[in-house]
Amino acid sequence: MEVLMPEPQIYVERTLAIIKPDVIDKEEEIEDVILRSGFRILQKRKLQLSPEQCSNFYAEQFGKMFFPNLTAYMSSGPIVAMVLARNCAVSYWKEMLGPSNSLRARITHPHSLRALYGTDELRNGLHGSLSISSAEKEIRFIFPEAILEPLPTGQRARDYLNLYVKPTLLAGLTALCKEKPADPL
């Protein structure tokens, strides 16, 4: 009797990482640490947020004493936002970041990214999503075109390919064949 095993599935979580304005000059160094830690960078974008966009991004912090300083700081210069992926991405990235207060991080987690790149509680160098749901929300905020739904498999995948991919490929290949370049190589 043959035992049928289900197809293996790869569960990959995504999280948002932001290199804040005061450490933007360390972008390559930080990216190298990220990649060496087993993350994949799915999307990357350099941008400058307005104070209003920062207020919307950090809406959960509204009403706290540091909120005005946070929005001013985050809109003070360009940032680099990245969608990071790996198993347990949210928790692993939070662990790499260390405590949000860089001064405390230097004492309790001296090898954490905030201990290495941050200067104080507000200017902690990097941002990380607190949960899977906040990661999805933050990724949609920074990368509105991002597709976060699970990828289709089985019949759903075949239907998608037949409906959207194959017609586009057929049209493109047909147009290419009609060109008949003189020197195809």
Does 21 have pLDDT greater than 70?
yes
Does 115 have pLDDT greater than 90?
yes
Question: How high is the pLDDT of residue 36?
Answer: 96
For 170, the 3-state DSSP assignment is helix
In a domain, 1, yes or no: no
Question: How high is the pLDDT of residue 77?
Answer: 96
In a domain, 56, yes or no: yes
Tell me the β-bridge partners of 79.
Answer: 47
Question: How high is the pLDDT of residue 172?
Answer: 84
Please check whether residues 134 and 167 belong to one and the same domain.
no
Residues with a catalytic annotation lie at 127
Asked whether the CA dihedral 30, 35, 37, 42 is positive or negative, the reply is: positive
Please check whether residues 25 and 75 belong to one and the same domain.
yes
Task: Give the H or E element holding residue 171.
Answer: helix 166-179
In a domain, 29, yes or no: yes
Lowest mean pLDDT, pick from 58-62, 107-111, 180-184: 180-184
Tell me the β-bridge partners of 124.
Answer: none
Which range marks the domain in which residue 55 is found? 14-150
Cα distance between residue 39 and residue 96, in whole Å:
12
Q: What's the structural domain count of the chain?
A: 2
Which pLDDT tens digit goes with each residue over 81-106? 999 999 899 999 999 999 999 999 99
In a domain, 178, yes or no: yes
